[in-house]
C-alpha cells in the first residue's frame, strides 16, 4: 500500500515560520530569541529595530526578500517572542486540554487505550483472511494461477464479446503472495491501494492501470464460473483472459494465508471515520458480520 511503502519517506520535516530555515519551529528559533533580546523594548514607543537583517534568514528568504521584510517578520512575531522570552514569560498557566482519543474521538480515553481501534484492526485481519482464502481457492487452485503458469494477458474492451486485442502469452515468472490484499479493492489513487505484483515473461503486467483488482477478465470468468466478482475486471483494460496451463506447483494454503501484512500500522494517525470510509466496502462484502459491524461503528460515530 502506498501509505506503507512511503512510511520512511513521509517523515515530518520542520520549517521555521520566522527564519524559514529547516529543522526547527519558531518556538525553538535561536534567531527569533536573539532578535527579541536585542530589541525587547521595541514595543514601547516603536523604537528602531537593530540587528535584524536578511542575512539572519534562510538562503531562500535572502533570495526573495530584503532587510525591510526581515524587520517586518520581527514586528509580526514580536508579541509571540515576548510571551516566550519577556519578563512575564512562564507566568501564564496553560490550560490543559481534555483527553481525547485520536482514533474514535472519545473523551474518556486516549488512542493507546482505545478498544475500538483494537477491534477495528482485528476486523481488518478477519476481512483480509476471507479475501485471501477466496483468492487461493478460486484463482490459485481453481484456475491454476501461480509461478510457471502459461497464461494469456490481453486488453479487454467495454463490450466483453468484442475480440481481445494486445494479446500476450507466456509464463508467469514472478508472483508476490503478499501483494494479494484487500488493498487491491481500493482505487489506485487511494493511499491504501495495493496492486497484485506479478510478471509475464519477466516483465511487469502493467497492473498499475487497474482501478480495482480486475484480476480475471469478465468473459473468461463467465466461462469458468464460480469466480467472485471482486476478482473480475468487468470494465475495459488489461487483464488475464486465459490460463492455458496451470502452475506446476501449488503453494501450501497455510503458508499463503500467512503472507498477509499486519494492520497495526494502518490505524496509525488515522481516525475511525476515515478508515471506515476506506474499508467499508471490503468489510461488508467479505466479513461474515460485515453489515452489523459497519452499522455499529457508524452508530458510534454519530454519538
Residue ending a domain, choose from 240, 257, 274: 257
Residues 185 and 232 in one domain: yes
Full domain range(s) for residue 74: 11-85
**Total domains in the fold of the chain:** 2
Task: Please report whether residue 301 resides in a domain.
Answer: no
Q: Tell me, what's the pLDDT at 211?
A: 36
| Digit-coded pLDDT (tens) for 151-207 | 998 887 766 677 777 788 999 999 988 889 998 888 877 888 888 888 888 876 554
End-to-end CA distance of the chain: 31
Residues 249 and 122 in one domain: yes
Residue ending a domain, choose from 44, 68, 85: 85
| Digit-coded pLDDT (tens) for 192-236 | 888 888 888 887 655 443 334 468 888 889 899 889 999 988 777
**Which one of 26-35, 81-90, 188-197 scores highest in mean pLDDT?**
26-35
Amino acid at each position: 500500500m502506498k501509505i506503507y511503502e512511503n512510511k520512511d519517506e513521509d517523515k515530518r520535516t520542520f520549517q521555521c515560520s520566522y527564519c524559514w530555515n529547516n529543522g526547527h519551529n519558531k518556538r525553538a528559533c535561536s534567531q527569533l530569541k536573539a532578535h527579541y533580546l536585542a530589541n525587547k523594548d521595541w514595543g514601547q514607543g516603536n523604537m528602531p529595530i537593530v540587528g535584524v537583517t536578511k542575512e539572519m534568514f534562510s538562503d531562500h528568504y535572502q533570495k526573495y526578500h530584503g532587510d525591510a521584510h526581515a524587520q517586518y517578520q520581527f514586528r509580526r512575531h514580536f508579541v509571540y517572542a515576548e510571551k516566550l522570552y519577556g519578563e512575564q514569560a512562564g507566568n501564564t498557566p496553560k490550560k490543559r486540554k481534555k483527553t481525547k482519543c485520536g482514533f474514535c474521538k472519545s473523551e474518556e480515553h486516549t488512542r493507546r487505550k482505545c478498544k475500538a481501534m483494537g477491534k477495528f484492526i482485528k476486523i481488518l485481519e478477519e476481512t483480509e483472511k476471507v479475501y485471501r482464502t477466496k483468492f487461493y481457492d478460486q484463482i490459485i487452485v481453481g484456475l491454476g494461477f501461480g509461478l510457471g503458469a502459461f497464461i494469456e494477458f490481453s486488453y479487454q474492451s467495454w463490450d466483453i464479446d468484442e475480440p481481445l486485442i494486445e494479446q500476450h502469452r507466456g509464463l508467469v515468472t514472478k508472483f508476490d503472495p503478499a501483494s494479494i490484499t484487500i488493498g487491491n479493492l481500493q482505487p489506485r489513487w487511494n493511499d491504501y491501494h495495493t496492486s497484485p505484483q506479478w510478471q509475464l515473461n519477466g516483465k511487469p503486467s502493467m497492473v498499475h492501470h487497474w482501478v480495482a483488482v480486475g484480476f480475471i477478465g469478465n468473459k473468461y470468468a463467465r466461462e469458468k464460473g464460480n469466480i467472485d466478482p471482486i476478482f473480475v475486471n468487468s470494465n475495459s483494460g488489461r487483464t488475464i483472459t486465459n490460463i492455458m496451463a496451470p502452475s506446476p506447483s501449488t503453494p501450501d494454503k497455510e503458508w499463503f494465508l500467512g503472507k498477509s501484512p499486519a494492520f497495526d500500522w494502518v490505524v496509525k494517525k488515522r481516525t475511525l471515520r476515515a478508515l471506515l470510509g476506506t474499508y467499508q466496502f471490503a468489510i461488508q462484502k467479505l466479513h461474515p458480520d460485515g453489515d452489523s459491524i459497519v452499522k455499529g461503528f457508524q452508530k458510534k460515530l454519530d454519538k
